[in-house]
Amino acid sequence: MQGDTTASDRPCDPRCFLNSAGGQDEGNTGHGAVDFPVAVVLPAAGCGERMGLTTPKQFCTFLNRPLISYTIESFEKISWIKTIVVVVAKESHELMLHIVKTFRHTKVKVVEGGTSRHRSIFNGLQVLTESTEGSSLPRPKVVIIHDAVRPFVEEDFLLKITLAAKEQGAVGAIRPLVSTVIATTSESYLDHSLERAKYRASEMPQGFLFDIIHQAYQLCSEFDFEFGTECLHLALQYSGTNAKLIEGPPTLWKVTYKRDLAAAESVIKETLSLSACLISGTMAETVELASKVQKNLAAHDMAVDVFSCAKEYKELLLSKTRNFIQITVGGGRLSDIAELIKLLEETNHALLYPVVIIWVHLYMSEEQSHRQKPDELTPIMDLAVKAKQGNILLYGIQVIHSKVPELWEKSAERLSELTAALIRDRNPAFTGQLLQA
Amino acid sequence: MQGDTTASDRPCDPRCFLNSAGGQDEGNTGHGAVDFPVAVVLPAAGCGERMGLTTPKQFCTFLNRPLISYTIESFEKISWIKTIVVVVAKESHELMLHIVKTFRHTKVKVVEGGTSRHRSIFNGLQVLTESTEGSSLPRPKVVIIHDAVRPFVEEDFLLKITLAAKEQGAVGAIRPLVSTVIATTSESYLDHSLERAKYRASEMPQGFLFDIIHQAYQLCSEFDFEFGTECLHLALQYSGTNAKLIEGPPTLWKVTYKRDLAAAESVIKETLSLSACLISGTMAETVELASKVQKNLAAHDMAVDVFSCAKEYKELLLSKTRNFIQITVGGGRLSDIAELIKLLEETNHALLYPVVIIWVHLYMSEEQSHRQKPDELTPIMDLAVKAKQGNILLYGIQVIHSKVPELWEKSAERLSELTAALIRDRNPAFTGQLLQA
């Protein structure tokens, strides 16, 4: 009953969508190969009634950001993609402009859609033919059409689509069929099953020479505007271009149902949990604890870089991670954490993904600990409330140093387990809490 | 690019799969209509290489239980289904027997599979023709064939399938096509797209008169045994029975990729979070707090039943909820919580789903609180560690009563937010912690 691919549904390079805090990447694969203008059209005017939600699915939010912003980010960070036209319903226009502003998308043009998917795409293409005032934007050579609700499209695959579009005029992503496809009689009986090997599911993205798809839409009949399902079909029918089909990765999946939002969130959370920066301080015990945590978190698939001091600003800034662990002795100094928060805020490090800070309080003895007295607790809670407004999630964990090696080891394990859970979950409800390791 | 259905992907009655702690339901819809023996065959011999995981997907675990056990539960709780034959690979036989024992599945027979899906199904059917010693099991009239990795199948739909199978001899679930299906040329160009209205995706479950599908397999060619994809097709080819097709709900979806496990977990967690029992005590302040929490959690779609005392055992036992909130004044008595845990353990309430207990400590004044002194903390952590072994997740939350109405209201809100998050997440890493509301 299943297509037989062994590919994973994770991004190939899981950090690919965390490249930067919001701008372009530094131009890696493909930049050299794509020496012509490429634009993207993202139809996002659908109402998403299938979700069982009132919000259209492209505007559903997880980790404080609407789905469509993740999709835009996937394109925006690719240096050779110059323009992203997002086509929205009239009633979502303001919302979309707000999203563009909030998440500082710089390549996006927002356009109002038509009464069907094809009319919306055509509106998007039309914008690319107009020379906007003050814009030196060239008419694109290749245009990529994608779905707003397939957030995990990757540069490698977009490069393949783009180059093939330039060569062939039209190109579409395909996937093996997930279910057997059957033909039904008018009385809902089985007529026959299709031979799986001959058929594929047509997916997004699709790429076109701009002139080919633009011409197809200009010639397109009213019927096709209203009921046509495939841009590939229009390119064939109206521009005589037979599309090349390229098998895409499972990461192209489409967020369709409410459960898919949970799946998308889990993919992002997993990716965000692959690395962390740990600021150890210089005391023997904190350095030792840092080393234990580093080792334990490796077993959770988290690569931890250890820095001796938060002042190594430059390295922290260069770091792609969204997770910071700071170990201090006793209550530590609130100002150290406040400084880290300030740094992260100044560099917009939490603009697109929530940043986790875990403040570890190491007490050198059970007696010394007087853990979590009210007068100690309030400042971390206050700081956490403030940080949360900037998408920074601050949690505290208390650890007691033991001279008994087994107990000390066990504390480090519990600390690591709590740390991994806090980073993995990114739950805003628990910020400002001081947990016990 | 999408089939157009407005149905949700949630179970119609979201509590339907929480009917009981492990046994049958009390026989509701359909019991009267199904007065003939019905058996189920669950082929589960696949290796699941598509997941990107080493464990076959049917044995992947979430909330402490393998996926296949959720699927078994969906059938086992239906009174008119008498036997569930699970067909597994030889190397998974021991594991499957262990799962049956651990989760006390009572209707399951475990059988070893063949070298293909069809051989495995045939093995499952063969078992149903043998009169087992000591078993008075009649040869089934109708057999339902399902996938082990579609855990959310519901009684209503199974009833439809079963009755139609008895009428028509063969019946299959269908769904609208998710993607446009295209025919490709041998050089990977677009040949044509299929007209969506004429085609459907063939899904599971399928139902058959036992004799029809058994005969089909007995006559089945080696080629079909090896490469055939559809039981419906075999019924047509070898028994001359043209299957009736019934549109199924989106809940029939199949766990295929790793992300689908996260989606399945989120569906279960959401369902588990729909209700809670709150044990308020009888003091004016605790009763008031209970009422505030009840109101706040309603906004989180959680229906909270308030009991004045945990001694109302009978009502707690009858309750279907897996979430308990107990409010005590000050440190409270650990024995109250220990008693609740004991009750839940004795009734196997946490056998299939983790149970959450939130122990709320209400302090009557800031001064009185001396919150979370080490000597107070250890017992709840110890109790939590022990409870966790029985799949019971114990968390603590401290609240300070304030005479200032706004502060008191705010504390109740924070308590509700923490409670909702703990219940929703069911994170074992945070058990034994004492959070601050």
Cβ atoms of A279 and A329 within 8 Å: the answer is no
Query: Does A242 contact B184 at a Cβ distance shorter than 8 Å?
Result: no
**How many domains does the structure of chain B reveal?**
2
Query: Does A258 contact B204 at a Cβ distance shorter than 8 Å?
Result: no
Shared domain for A299 and A260, answered yes or no, is: no
CATH number, domain of A192, equals 3.90.550.10
Residue B3 lies in a domain: no
User: Cα(A88)–Cα(A124) distance, rounded to whole angstroms?
Assistant: 10
User: Cα(B29)–Cα(A385) distance, rounded to whole angstroms?
Assistant: 50
Residue B177 lies in a domain: yes
CATH number, domain of A378, equals 3.40.50.360
Question: What length does chain B have?
Answer: 437
Shared domain for B261 and B140, answered yes or no, is: yes
Residue A1 lies in a domain: no
Note the pLDDT tens digit of each residue in A324-357. 999 999 766 788 899 899 989 999 999 999 999 9
Residue of A nearest to B181 (CA): A201
Residues with Cβ within 8 Å of residue A391, at least 6 apart in sequence: A64, A350, A351, A353, A354, A355
Facing residue for B421 by CB, picked from A232, A256, A429? A429
Q: Is the backbone of residue A234 left (phi > 0), alpha (psi -120 to 50) or beta?
A: alpha
Note the pLDDT tens digit of each residue in A119-159. 999 999 999 997 655 565 678 999 999 999 999 999 999 99
- Residue ranges of chain B whose pLDDT lies below 50: 1-7, 12-17, 19-30, 371-372, 374-375
Nearest residue to B412 (alpha-carbon basis) of B325, B343, B315: B325
Residues with Cβ within 8 Å of residue A18, at least 6 apart in sequence: A271, A272, A320, A322, A353
Token pair of A204 as six digits: 């997004």
Per-position b or e across B146-184, b if 16+ CB within 10 A of its CB: bbbbbbbbbbebbbbbbbbbbebbbbbbbbebbbbbbeb
Nearest residue to A43 (alpha-carbon basis) of A98, A113, A128: A113
Shared domain for A153 and A216, answered yes or no, is: yes
Q: What is residue A369's predicted lDDT score, i.e. its pLDDT?
A: 53
Residue A8 lies in a domain: no
Question: What length does chain A have?
Answer: 437
Residue A234 lies in a domain: yes
Q: Which of B268, B284, B305 is the last residue of a domain?
A: B268
User: Cα(B84)–Cα(B72) distance, rounded to whole angstroms?
Assistant: 8
Shared domain for A263 and A278, answered yes or no, is: no
Residue A9 lies in a domain: no
Token pair of A57 as six digits: 């699915």
Shared domain for A322 and A402, answered yes or no, is: yes
Q: Is the minimum CB–CB distance between A259 and chain B shorter than 8 Å?
A: yes
Read off the DSSP letter of residue B189: B
User: Cα(A239)–Cα(B42) distance, rounded to whole angstroms?
Assistant: 49
User: Cα(B437)–Cα(B433) distance, rounded to whole angstroms?
Assistant: 13
Q: Is the minimum CB–CB distance between A180 and chain B shorter than 8 Å?
A: yes
Query: Does A258 contact B10 at a Cβ distance shorter than 8 Å?
Result: yes
- Residue ranges of chain A whose pLDDT lies below 70: 1-32, 48-53, 131-137, 312-313, 331-332, 366-378
Shared domain for A25 and A72, answered yes or no, is: yes
Q: What is residue A27's predicted lDDT score, i.e. its pLDDT?
A: 43
Q: Which domain holds residue A87?
A: 16-268
Q: What is residue A366's predicted lDDT score, i.e. its pLDDT?
A: 64
Shared domain for B264 and B279, answered yes or no, is: no
Shared domain for A296 and A234, answered yes or no, is: no
- Taking the CA atoms of A126, A129, A131 and A135 in sequence, report the sign of the dihedral they define: positive
Q: Is the backbone of residue B372 left (phi > 0), alpha (psi -120 to 50) or beta?
A: left
Shared domain for A261 and A175, answered yes or no, is: yes
- Taking the CA atoms of B346, B347, B349 and B351 in sequence, report the sign of the dihedral they define: positive
Facing residue for B50 by CB, picked from A5, A194, A203? A5
Which residues of chain A neighbour B51 with C-beta distances below 8 Å?
A: 8
Shared domain for B307 and B365, answered yes or no, is: yes
Which residues of chain A neighbour B10 with C-beta distances below 8 Å?
A: 52, 258
Residue A5 lies in a domain: no
Which residues of chain A neighbour B4 with C-beta distances below 8 Å?
A: 50
Name residues 36-55 of chain A within 8 A of B (Cβ).
Answer: 49-52
Token pair of B36 as six digits: 């003939």
ipTM of the shown complex:
0.89
Best B259, B302, B399 residue to mutate vs chain A (most A CBs within 10 Å) = B259
Shared domain for B224 and B296, answered yes or no, is: no
Name residues 331-350 of chain A within 8 A of B (Cβ).
Answer: none
Shared domain for B374 and B235, answered yes or no, is: no
Q: What is residue A3's predicted lDDT score, i.e. its pLDDT?
A: 39
Query: Does A10 contact B427 at a Cβ distance shorter than 8 Å?
Result: no
Q: Which of B215, B237, B268 is the last residue of a domain?
A: B268
Q: Which of A252, A268, A284 is the last residue of a domain?
A: A268
Query: Does A198 contact B184 at a Cβ distance shorter than 8 Å?
Result: yes
Per the DSSP assignment, residues forming a β-bridge with A397 are A360, A435
User: Cα(B16)–Cα(A279) distance, rounded to whole angstroms?
Assistant: 49
